[in-house]
Every structure is written in C-alpha cells, then in structure tokens.
Structure 1
C-alpha cells in the first residue's frame, strides 16, 4: 500500500511540475482579461477612479479621464491575452512589470486616502496585487528558461561542488 501511495504522489508531483505553471499563467491571464474588460465600461470597475487618478499622476496629466481608463483597460487585456495564449509572452510580462509598478503606485501617491485609519476597500483591493506580482515572477522565471523539478528527482554533486539533476 505504501508503494502505491508513493507512486501516486510521485506521479502527481510530476504532473504538477509539467502543468502547474501553465495553469497559473492561464488563470492569471483570465484575471487580467476580466479586470481589464471591466475598465472599458465607465462606472463598472470598482477600481476605476483610483486607477484613472493614478495614471493621471504618473503621466503628469497627459492622460486623464476615459482616455486613461482605456489605456489601462487595453494594457490589462493585452497582458491577459499574452498570458492565456502564450503568444508574445515575454512582451506581455514586460508590460505587466510596468503595470504592476502602476498597481502599487497608489500606496505612495494616495497613502492618506487609502489609509485614513483602517485600510479602505480600495487599499485592500490593491493589496491582492501582491499575489499577482508573485505569480508573474513564477511565470517570468519559466518564460526565461527556469523549470519546476519534482523533489524526487535525484540530485548529485558535480566535481566542483554544485548540484545538478541526475539524468
């Protein structure tokens, strides 16, 4: 029975190593498409006012109002589509890096509005972006060539002391 359980765990670990980052990539992409699509419609996104005010400040007033909202929406949908499809993924990840900087900018630009005492709902909304940033790091690592390796794969020492996965 123990051997059967160990075999099942080993197969599950191998399946997760092969597929979990792709599942993370697609699900993160769907989140970006969904939130970005909302921003195309005035008054629908709960983050609309904050995101527009942030882009207005970051662009030094060159983008404001609905134009700012469309830029944000387009950027988020583009990021999402690159994640869902895997096409132009590196470009999408570069755009996402800039977007994530913009996502956290309100903490600096509007701190007292977001934290008048207890965190506002908008502050909490932004806080979830920490998870999006962490997911982006994992996806970025894979896009740059890293791979997830099951723990059961044997590590062996190379003559210079570094470890590598045994073939």
Structure 2
C-alpha cells in the first residue's frame, strides 16, 4: 500500500497514511460532537421538565380563565355537557362551566408557580377523566364523518394528558436519568 508523503518545512518527509490521519480527525470530531451532546443532555435534564410543567400550566390557565367569561371559550358547550353527563345532571349549565374554569385555573396556577404542585397534580388526575371523557361520551358529535373542529380540539387533549403524566411523575418523585440509552 502506498503512503501519501507530504514534504514541506519542518517535515521529515514521512507521515502516517491518509486513512490514519482522517481517522484521527474523525476521533477529534467525534469527541467534540460527544461533548456537545453531553452538554445538550445536561441542559435538557436540568430544564426540560420545568419547561413542560410551566407550558402545560399556561395552557390550563389560559383555557380555564376563558371559561370565566361566557361565550369566550370554544369548549364551553362540551365542558358543560361533559360535566352534566359525568355528574348525572347534578352540575350542569353555567355551574358546570364554572366548575371547569375553577379546576383548570387551579391546575394552571399550581403548574406555573410550582406551589402546591402535589395538590395540583391530584386535581389534574381527576380533571383528566373529564378532559378525556368527551371522546367516549360524544364520539358521534366529535367525529361525524371524520374529526369535527371540536373533535380536533378534544383530540389535542391526548397530548396534554401525556404531558400531564410526565409532569405528575416528576412532581411525585420520579427523576429523569442523565445516562445514555442510545
């Protein structure tokens, strides 16, 4: 096998084969990439769950506050119908929407501030029943010939529920590992 020899000032006229020099360059590049990935991983471990908790809280807070003002929330009718059905008619109409508004606002405030987080997570667990119930209770209305606009609105709650599960696990003591699973 022939070697690439580079002569020049300060060079002895022989060098390692090009493949060896490229491999050494790849090793240095790999080390830099690995260090960058490690820094990114450390950043994500330190901040991603807090960002998820706060952003989820802002969503709940925003949707909850809207329900305090009749006619502003696009989910007012489905919230009222769901609470009415889940409470067997004991809580309906404006009171059902008000109950939903208070519940979502409390959840949002606990998630955003991190205060009374365990209480907020317990309330959130109960609220998830109501949040996901329209999928079973009003399937025909939500998906008449595919997802209606309200059906799409309710479907996004699946993502909120999954995010809530992660936040709840963290609030109740689970910790994100910093080890590599790749």
Does TM, normalized by the shorter one, top 0.5? yes
State how far apart, in whole Å, the 1-side matches of 2:162 and 2:134 are.
19
User: 1:150, CA displacement in angstroms?
Assistant: 2.2
- 1:139 corresponds in structure 2 to 167
User: 1:65, CA displacement in angstroms?
Assistant: 1.5
In structure 2, the gaps of 5 or more residues are: 1-28
1:58 matches 2:90: no
List aligned pairs for 1:43-82, cutoff 5 A: 43-82=71-110
- 2:125 corresponds in structure 1 to 97
Point out the more displaced range, 110-119 or 33-42: 110-119
- SS in structure 2 opposite 1:113? helix
- Which of 107, 131, 138 aligns to 1:110? It is 138
- SS in structure 1 opposite 2:179? coil
- SS in structure 2 opposite 1:128? helix
User: 1:85, CA displacement in angstroms?
Assistant: 0.9
Structure 1 outlier segments of 4+, above 3 Å: none
- 2:23 corresponds in structure 1 to none
CA contact (8 A) 1:52 1:65 kept: yes
CA contact (8 A) 1:56 1:63 kept: yes
The number of aligned residues is 153
Q: Which of structures 1 and 2 has the larger relative contact order (alpha carbons within 8 angstroms, sep 6+)?
A: 1
TM-score w.r.t. length of structure 1: 0.86
State how far apart, in whole Å, the 2-side matches of 1:105 and 1:18 are.
34
TM-score w.r.t. length of structure 2: 0.80
Instruction: Give CA deviations for 1:120-164 in whole Å, capped at 9, x if unaligned.
Output: 1111111111111111111111112111122349xxxxxxxxxxx
User: 1:51, CA displacement in angstroms?
Assistant: 0.7
State how far apart, in whole Å, the 1-side matches of 2:163 and 2:136 are.
23
User: 1:5, CA displacement in angstroms?
Assistant: 2.6
Answer with 1 or 2: which has the greater Rg: 2
State how far apart, in whole Å, the 1-side matches of 2:163 and 2:71 are.
28
CA contact (8 A) 1:18 1:148 kept: no
State how far apart, in whole Å, the 1-side matches of 2:32 and 2:106 are.
45
